[in-house]
Amino acid sequence: SKAAGRNTHRFFDPGMQEALHARSSLEIDLRQGLANGELFAHYQAVVDPQGKVHGVEALARWNHPERGAISPVEFIPLAEQTGLILPLGEKILRAACEQLVRWAASEQTAHLSMAVNVSARQFRQLDFAAQVLQILRETGANPRRLRLELTESLLLGDIEGTVARMEELKREGVGFALDDFGTGYSSLAYLKRLPLDQLKIDRGFVRDVLTNPNDAAIVRTVLALADSLDLTVVAEGVETVEQLGFLCLHGCVQFQGYLFGRPGPVGGVEALLDGGA
Ligand code: C2E
Ligand code: CA
Ligand code: CA
Ligand code: CA
């Protein structure tokens, strides 16, 4: 009720007031930043054991006029809470598709695939598939080069709806990866029902794969599971040759991480193209 709403301020201490103020001012900045072109995509290479580039993942970036670069870890949750993830997600997807079109024009880059992150808020829109197909049509990008990265939490709940939405895009050639795999709750039965193409092993498991036997066991299990379900695997967050060695030994053939390249402007990825040994 109104009266209750008026009373709630009594429970806010000054720290909470400050936090709320900071959040709402960042929300205003995000809204403005979207309109002003402060948000854009960077790209990180996905490579094979020889360092040959398979494709990239698009990652949203925000250059705030006063605060400089703000991490997606901060602004993506805010964008999700406020609904701004809808225009932001569309912007990143469009930029990614436009990049695919530029790459399609040259023999050296035409094979590259593009992964784009999709948040729950976007995916649950009833016309999500239609929106993606429209952007593909408008840009002229090849749907077969596009892969959408979904998270496990996003897939929980309405499995029929989820599968139907995925199938609508798969019919046109769009692929799907399950991001941050191992951090969520997917049962094997559940995993089998989804028309996925790829699992991405969360970098939390890769980080300590050489020192933590549990993480090593999880990584080996995911690789074996993916093999039996006919899914490709990308190991995320590969930073050392020792991690790479372990992953290769257990059959992983695609990697993403600082060892190969940090996310950056597209030129950084293109420079890697002739660098593969
Ligand atoms: P993610 O999808 O799991 O993306 C991988 C993250 O790992 C990226 O963080 C990337 O910069 C980081 N990373 C890659 N290699 C390494 C490495 O070797 N070591 C370390 N320590 N980190 C590495 P980033 O760019 O900060 O993005 C964080 C998260 O924000 C993403 O995690 C994703 O969940 C979300 N995000 C980013 N862009 C978008 C977007 O356009 N849409 C949506 N919905 N979410 C996004
Ligand atoms: Ca991702
Ligand atoms: Ca991930
Ligand atoms: Ca992650």
Name the pTM for this structure.
0.92
Q: Give the pairing type, strands 39-47 and 53-64.
A: antiparallel
Nearest CA to ligand 1 atom 5: 236
Angle, to 10 degrees, between the axis of helix 213-229 and the axis of helix 241-249? 50
Instruction: Fill in the amino acid letter for 206.
Output: V
- Give the number of the ligand closest to the Cα of residue 237: 1
pLDDT given for residue 90 in this prediction: 98
- If you measure from the C-alpha of residue 57 to the centroid of ligand 1, how many angstroms do you get, rounded to a whole number? 9
* CA pair distance 202, 179, nearest whole angstrom: 7
Q: From the CA of 62, which ligand is nearest?
A: 1
pLDDT at 263: 98
> Which numbered atom of ligand 1 lies nearest the CA of 258?
18
Per-residue confidence (pLDDT) for residue 1, from 0 to 100? 42
Q: Is the ipTM, as predicted for this complex, more than 0.90?
A: yes
Position 277 scores a pLDDT of: 45
Write the residue with the smallest CA distance to atom 3 of ligand 1: 180
Element (H, E) at 197: none
User: Distance between CA 264 and CA 239 in Å, rounded?
Assistant: 16
- pLDDT at position 11 is 63
Q: Are 33 and 87 in contact, with CB atoms under 8 Å apart?
A: no
Instruction: Enumerate residues lining ligand 1, CB below 6 A.
Output: 44, 59-60, 71-73, 76, 89, 92, 117-119, 179-180, 203, 236-239, 256-258, 263
Nearest CA to ligand 1 atom 42: 117
> Which residue has the least CA distance to atom 34 on ligand 1?
117
Q: What pLDDT tens digit does each residue of the chain (277 aa) get?
A: 444 445 555 566 778 777 777 778 899 999 999 999 999 999 999 999 999 999 999 999 999 999 999 999 999 999 999 999 999 999 999 999 999 999 999 999 999 999 999 999 999 999 999 999 999 999 999 999 999 999 988 777 788 899 999 999 999 999 999 998 888 776 777 788 899 999 999 999 999 999 999 999 999 999 999 999 999 999 999 999 999 999 999 999 999 999 999 999 999 999 999 754 4
